[in-house]
Amino acid sequence: MTSPQKLPLVAVIATGGTIASRKDARGAARPNLTGQDLLDLLPPLSVRLRAVEILAKDSSSLTLSDMQQISDAVGQQLADPAVCGVVVLHGTDAMEETSLLVHLQHGKGKPVIFTGAQFSADNPKSDGPENLAAAIGTALQGKGVRLVFGERELPAWGLYKAVSDRVDAFRLAGSGVPPMSELPRPVSDLRIDIVALYPGADALHLDASRIAGAQGIVLAALGSGNTTPAVVAGVARAIADDIPVIVSSRVPEGELAPVYGGGGGGHDLRDAGAIHSRLLRPGQARILLAALLANGADRETIAQAFA
């Protein structure tokens, strides 16, 4: 029999989310289980487990500072020679964002596996324990940052939440990871806004972000990254104020290309100075832009990162 001290060690970082949630007296689910509580629900495994308590939040309320705190905790565990891999328990609403930040800051080393649940711990359909057990097993294999969720294993790059009521919640917008150095500097103090666009949109919200002091703006545009002439004019104003503007899309999958004209097409946005995000959707585009700006990237470097 293998001595317990010789078993591999996996650090399990708890941040809250549905996997840690139960209904309170009002019937509202909220995170109230610790990481150790969740580990205690598992059957015996041939691995040592270290619970690391960081946050107990719904991921919809996570700030960039919170995401940076999670990434820093991952880095601390990866630096421990005894740790073979890390599992991050996280809410699904922002899983794609935090996992990308960790990928950008710690993506070249030991395995880091994100997981969570679609159904709370006291729900008859609770999927948390199964996801957690699968994530722990995967944390002993390979390298880099991945998601294990609903019997799927997916990379962090291009990840998005596709459904809200099934256990296989996540998909990829597309494939391919561009070559990139790690971007280690913290993103905590940045303001990067996402502006949702719609047919006939004006530039009110884009201008409001610019005036409010956003250091970068991501457009959730239509189709392959299209909008209206009014928004194109607003982009030009932001660029004149040295605020980078990234064009993503509300369409969940497929590559974007600045093809269309007509005054508000992607071609017009590019001419106004915006940069199209070929693959990343708005949430992940925001994280990549934040990491690039925190590390002092110039316009050319930003454009290459999103190409």
Q: Residues with catalytic annotation? A: 18
Nearest 5°: the CA angle 120, 126, 132 is: 95
- Rounded to whole angstroms, the Cα distance separating 260 from 265 reads 5
With residues binned 3-state (H G I as helix, E B as strand, rest as coil), the percentages for the chain, rounded to 5, are 35, 25, 45
| Burial call 37-58: b when 16+ CB within 10 Å, e when fewer | ebbeeeeeeebbbbbbebbbbb
Amino acid letter, 117 = A
Beta bridge partners of 17: none
Listing DSSP states for 11-56 in one string gives EEEEEESGGGEEE-TTS-EEE---HHHHHTTSPP-SSEEEEEEEEE
Beta bridge partners of 22: 30
Which helix (H) or strand (E) segment is 152 a member of? strand 152-155
